[in-house]
Chains A and B, each alone.
Chain A
Amino acid sequence: MSQQFNRIFDEILVRCGMNVAASCENDAAEIYADADAADLRPTVTLLVESGCRLASVFAEDRIAADACFLVYHVFDHPQDRRFFLLRTSIPAGAPVFPSVAAEIPAVNWQEREIHDWFGLVAEGHPNPRRVALHDNWPEIHPLRKDFPIDTVLPPFVGEQHIYRPTVGEGVIHIPVGPVHAGIIEPGHFNFAVAGEPILYLQLRMFYTHKGIEKRFEQLSVNRAVYLAESISGDSSFSHGTAFCQAIERAAGVDAPHRARRMRTVLLELERLYNHVGDIGAIVNDVGFGAGNAHASRLRELILSINEELTGSRLLRGVVCPGGLRHDWEPQQVTSCGAALRRFESEFRDLMQIVDGSDTTRDRLEHTGILHPDKARDLGIVGVGGRASGVDRDLRRDHPYAAYDEVSFHVPAYQEGDVLRRMNVRVDEIWQSLKIVDAMLTALTPGPWRIAIPPLPPDCVALGAVEGWRGEILHWIRTGPEGRLERCKIKDPSLNNWPAIVEAVQGNIVPDFPVINKSFNLSYSGTDR
Chain B
Amino acid sequence: MFHIFKKAAQTGLVTIGYPHAPAHIPERFRGAPVFDFSAWRDARPACEVCPTGAISTEELDARRRVTIDYGFCIYCGQCAEADGSGAVKITREFELAARKRDDLISIAEYTVNADGSQGELVAFRKGSAAENERVEPLEHRVRQKIHGVLGRSLAIREVDAGSCNGCEIEIGALNNPVYDLDRLGIHFVASPRHADMLLVTGPVTRNMELALLKTYRATPEPKMVVAVGACGIGGGIFGLNYATVGGVNAVVPVDVFIPGCPPRPHALLHGILLALGRMEQRLMSRQSDE
Within the assembled complex, what's the spacing in Å between the Cα atoms of A293 and B175? 9
Q: In the complex the two chains form, is A234's CB within 8 Å of B169's CB?
A: yes
Contact between B162 and A208, CB atoms less than 8 A apart: yes
- Name B149-187 residues within 8 Å CB distance of A: 158-173, 175-178
Which of chain A's residues has its CB closest to B75's CB?
Answer: A317
Residues of B in contact with A, size category: 35 or more
User: Is A227 in the interface zone, CB < 8 Å from B?
Assistant: yes
Q: Of A179, A211, A308, which is within 8 A of B215 by CB?
A: A179
A455, chain B: closest CB distance, angstroms: 18
List B residues 1-27 near A (Cβ within 8 Å).
Answer: 1, 3-4, 7-8, 10-11, 14, 26-27
Q: A183-B168, A184-B168, A300-B178 are in contact. Are A210 and B243 (CB under 8 A)?
A: yes
Among A152, A178, A230, A353, point to the contact of B3 (Cβ < 8 A).
A353
**Are B242 and A185 in contact, CB atoms less than 8 angstroms apart?**
no
B159–A307 CB distance below 8 A: no
User: Is chain A's interface secondary structure helix, strand, loop, or mixed overall?
Assistant: loop
Q: State whether A234 and B76 are in contact (beta carbons under 8 Å apart), knowing that A300-B176, A311-B29 are contacts in the complex.
A: no
Q: How far is the CB of A523 from chain B (nearest CB, A)?
A: 7
Cβ of B207 under 8 Å from chain A? yes
Tell me whether B11 and A179 are in contact (CB under 8 A). no
CB <8 Å contact, A209 and B165: no
Count of A interface residues, CB-CB < 8 Å? 63
Report A-chain residues with C-beta under 8 Å of the C-beta of B191: 181
Q: How far is the CA of A179 from the CA of B262 in the complex (A)?
A: 20
For window 171-209 of A, CB contacts with B under 8 Å fall at: 178-179, 181-186, 206-209
Question: Are the CB atoms of B203 and A356 closer together than 8 Å?
Answer: no
Chain B contacts for A230, CB-based, 8 A: 164, 166, 231, 236-238, 261
- Tell me if B283 counts as interface (CB < 8 A to partner A): no
**Residue in A236, A293, A300, A307 whose beta carbon sits within 8 Å of that of B26 in the complex:** A307
The interface residues of chain A lying within 8 Å CB-to-CB of B264 are: 313
B206 at the A interface (CB under 8 A):
yes
How far in angstroms is the closest Cβ of chain B from A103? 31
- Residues of B close to A181: CB separation below 8 A: 190-191
| Contacting pair B207 A352 (CB below 8 A) | no
Instruction: Give the residue of B4, B7, B211, B238 whose beta carbon is less than 8 angstroms from that of A211.
Output: B238
Interface assignment of A314: CB less than 8 Å from any CB of chain B: yes
> Is the pair B211, A178 in contact by a Cβ cutoff of 8 Å?
yes
Q: Quick check: is A373 within 8 A (CB to CB) of the other chain?
A: no
* Residues from chain A with Cβ under 8 Å of B7 in the complex: 294, 349, 353
Which residues in B have their C-beta under 8 angstroms from that of A294?
7, 11
How many angstroms between the C-alpha atoms of A523 and B205 in the bound complex?
Answer: 13
A444 at interface, CB cutoff 8 A: no
Say whether B176 contacts A297, CB under 8 Å: yes
A residues less than 8 Å from B178 (CB atoms): 296-297, 300
A4 within 8 A of B: no
Contacts of A206 in B (CB 8 A): 207
A231 to B49, CA, bound (A): 20
Q: Is there a chain B Cβ closer than 8 Å to A166's Cβ? A: no
- The yes or no answer to A153 lying at the interface (CB within 8 A) is yes
* With known contacts A183-B158, A208-B207, A356-B3, A233–B166 Cβ distance under 8 A: yes
Least Cβ distance of B127 to chain A in Å? 23
CB pair A210 B241 closer than 8 Å: yes
Using a CB-CB cutoff of 8 Å, which residues 56-81 of chain A contact chain B? none
